[in-house]
Structures are given as C-alpha cells and as structure tokens.
Amino acid sequence: MKILELELVTADLEAQRQFYVEVLGLKMLEFGKQHLTVQVGSSRLKLTLQTAFTGRYHFAFDVPENQLLAAKNWLKTRAELIADVGGETIFESTNWNANMVYFRDPQGNILELIARHDLQNSSDAKFSSSSFINISEIGLACDDVPEVASWLAQHLNLKIYKSSSDIFAPIGDAHGLLILVQNAREWFPSTGVFATPQPVTVQLESDQNQRLELPNLPYKIERKIP
C-alpha cells in the first residue's frame, strides 16, 4: 500500500512552511493562504489552514534501511529528538524489523523517521532530505479498533500488518500503514501526546478511483490511479 498524499490540518501555515521547507529542506509544491504542500520522496504532505485547530497527529517517513543513524545525526541539528524516560532516542521494533527516531513539528505533531529492514532500499548516498523515501504511516484514533479494522478490510481489502490488539492495529503493508489506535492512547515514546480523532484525508495508490469516508470519524480515504 503506497500513500500518494496525506492531507492534515494546521493552525499556522507559515511556521510549518519554515519547518518543512527551510529546516528539513523538503521541496515546496504549493504555498498560499489556505494550503502548504511539500514533496516527501514519492509522497506529498498537504497542510490545510484552520487557525483555531489545536489537534496533533502522528505520521512517519521512511528512510533507507541502512541509514537510521545517519538520519538521526542529520535530524538532531534541525529538531529536538524525542527520548524515552531512559534518554534513548533510537528505538527498535523486533516485530516489524525496524528502527525509528521521533521528533515534533511546530504544531506539536509526532513525526517519525523509520528504517524498515525488510525492504530493499539501502542507499550509499549522504543522508539529506532527498533521502526521505515516502510517507509510510498515519495514526488514526477511534473508539473501537477491531470494528474499524474490519470496515477497512471489507471496503478496501486491507489487512492487518504483522499483529494487532484491541487497542492497536496497523493496516496495510511495509510500504504504507494506517495505524489504528484506541482513543486517548499515548503516542510512543512517552510523548505526552494522546491520540484523538482529527481530520485526515489519505490518497492511496490504486488501480481505480474511489472516495470513502469512515463512519462517524473525520477520516477520508481516496484510492487514486497514479
């Protein structure tokens, strides 16, 4: 599953432009009174202005599977890394065979760089913003994780990735994931940010065009022919 575009809401477009374009060095595709769009590898991140917005998101960018340490060293001069209670800033998921680092943007969103060792995407190039491969995850909070997972399976033919529980279910595959979590679950690692439903539109690569809205949730999923 590949995420073509992720559209989120922000309260301050200019602050986000400075961060994503000037600090992280991502290519700006659009910037106006209502929208900012940047290129993230093969994906696009679109931020839409809503000045009263106070919500926060969790989403992830893939980086080459052999470059997480280089990514961390590059990132720590541009943003404060999020550490756990022991001060660790590089994390490992043995189940996903991946390593991650976390940081925040000016909205307070929880961002993640993740190196997935199951993917054949090693690189010998010096790490930079051009090393970002794609947007690979977006967190979606809900009251009933199994029910929403079942709805996605029925309407989009998407499956659980690796494993799930009643409060956490990654839907998709190693290339792209919708991360279903229980409302009020704290985003890892000890971020102090708790998952709540916020407006999200996700465009997924598909062999057909289709637009769906999850019942009673602010989530829209568009299937797009690239």
Cis preceding linkage at 199, omega within 30: no
| Model confidence pLDDT, tens digit, residues 64-92 | 999 999 999 999 999 999 999 899 999 99
Looking at the DSSP assignment, which residues form a beta bridge with residue 178?
Answer: 138, 171
Question: What is the pTM for the complete model shown?
Answer: 0.96
Share of the chain above pLDDT 90, in %: 95
Q: What is the pLDDT of residue 202?
A: 98
d(CA 38, CA 60): 15
| Model confidence pLDDT, tens digit, residues 30-67 | 999 999 999 999 999 999 999 999 999 999 999 999 99
Q: What is the pLDDT of residue 226?
A: 85
Banded model confidence at residue 12, pLDDT cuts 50, 70, 90:
very high
Mind listing the domains of the chain with CATH numbers?
A: 3-224 (3.10.180.10)
How do beta strands 110-116 and 58-63 pair? parallel
The rounded mean pLDDT for the chain is 97
